[in-house]
Amino acid sequence: MSEKNSQCVLVRAWTRWGPWKHLLVSSCGLLAWALIAAWSASAQAQSLPELSSQGRAALRDQQFDRAATIYQQVVRLEPRSAEAHSNLGLALYMTSSYSRAITELRSALALDPHLDNARVLLALSYFNTGELGLAVPLLEKAYQSRKDDPIVAAHLGLAYLRQQKDDKALAALSHWAELEPHSSDALYFKGKAAMYVASDAFAELTKVAPDSYRMFQLRAEMLRQQQGMTPAAINEYKKAIAQKPDAAGLHYALGTLYREGGRLDDAMSEFNEELKISPNDAMTHFLLGDVCLQQNKLDSAEQYLSQALTLQPGLADAQFDLAKTYRSQGKTDESVKLLQAIIASDPERQDAHYLLFGLYKERGELEDARKELQIFEALKRKTADQEQKRMRLDSID
């Protein structure tokens, strides 16, 4: 029977049945709705896997707007899917729709509290909307289990910084810098937190102990950074030493100022005082050796420098001074070995290459001398080029 003929038969039947036609129509309507509902359920069952697959592909391809559109459909079809809400939250977060992301991520966690990634993403969303009171507890919890995640460490540290919890910020941001040692952002914010911590501590020191030896020491350290203020810094160190002569580091610091100013006898005296307080300090032994070398007291220089290297074998400046001492003592072989070790550790150390060039030349090893001179000149040109680039950048600023 054709479709047209079947329609005619149905119409004639409704007309003939008269009073029962409404019942027939009602029954046909119920049957139609049942058929539509069955078809819809079938279509839904078929479309969900396909939509989910498309959504995952969009996330993978970083097509976050498209992923958000797809997962909105998935959530409408399957509102009890924690994964769908979580993925929609991720897509919304990546399109900077943080408030909407929060809604979806909270829904996901309400359905499945064990979605750790959703919890971290919720914390980051709260961070970006400025809701630090909600972000920080979630970030702290995430930091306990994701200690080596730089994103978590960074956001926790920055959140603490915004809350003016500088000590906590410094700890988290320092860890971020350890995880990403070449990140300019990590190093900048670590330095910023450290500056705040130092500023707070020094402000408190000024209030609590304005006339203490530490206050004099602080003033000295600030003055020595300013051009032409070395005499004033020396006076502050002397005040600190007068108040606390056995404090570690004070004689050392004053000695370095004397050494820089060419007052070698005064420097020697301060370094010896420091050794009475800290007899195993490698840097003090090194600087004593350096002063002795400048004064041509070669045996004493060798003694102090050797002791410095016993205490701290990798102290390159002490190694170099000892190599110079050996050369002045006529111990050429010892000097060459030491310089070779320095260069093996730091191939771009120019002064070591130049000194080794001189030693090879003195021994008549002209080919080796030529190689060292070439390396030295190449490194010198490289340094000059870098300095020119830096100066150009400074002029742009």
The per-residue pLDDT for range 136-168, each reduced to its tens digit, is 999 999 999 998 999 999 999 999 999 999 999
Q: Measuring CA to CA, how many Å separate 303 from each of 247, 272, 300, 335? A: 26, 14, 5, 15
Statement: residue 13 has pLDDT above 70 = no
Q: How confident is residue 2, by pLDDT bands cut at 50, 70 and 90? A: very low
What is the gyration radius of the CA atoms in the chain, in angstroms? 38
Q: pLDDT at position 202, please?
A: 87
Look at residue 394 in the predicted model and tell me its pLDDT. Answer: 53
> Does the structure show a pLDDT above 70 at 205?
yes
- Say how far apart CA 156 and CA 140 lie, in whole Å: 7
CB contact at 8 A, 166 and 196? yes
**pTM of the full predicted structure?**
0.61
User: What domains does the chain contain, in order, with CATH numbers?
Assistant: 47-129 (1.25.40.10), 131-208 (1.25.40.10)
Q: Which of 25-34, 167-176, 195-204, 280-289 has the lowest mean pLDDT?
A: 25-34
Query: Residue 178's closest CA among 152, 205, 138, 150?
Result: 150
Q: What is the pLDDT of residue 392?
A: 56
Q: How many helices (H) and strands (E) does the chain have?
A: 20, 0
Q: How far apart are CA 27 and CA 190, in angstroms?
A: 75
CB 216 within 8 A of CB 240: yes
Do 120 and 146 contact (CB within 8 A), yes or no? Answer: yes
Q: What percent of the chain stands above pLDDT 90?
A: 75
Mean pLDDT of 108-124: 95
More confidently predicted of 352 and 40: 352
What are the two backbone dihedrals, phi and then psi, of residue 22, each rounded to the nearest 5 degrees? Answer: -65, -35
pLDDT at 19 exceeding the cut of 90:
no
Residue 75 has pLDDT above 60, yes or no: yes
Between 30 and 177, name the one with better pLDDT: 177
- pLDDT band at 48; cut points 50, 70, 90: confident
Average pLDDT over residues 48-75: 92
Q: Which residues contact 205 (CB under 8 A, 6 or more apart)?
A: 212, 214, 215, 218
Model pLDDT for residues 123-135, shown as the tens digit of each residue: 999 999 999 999 9
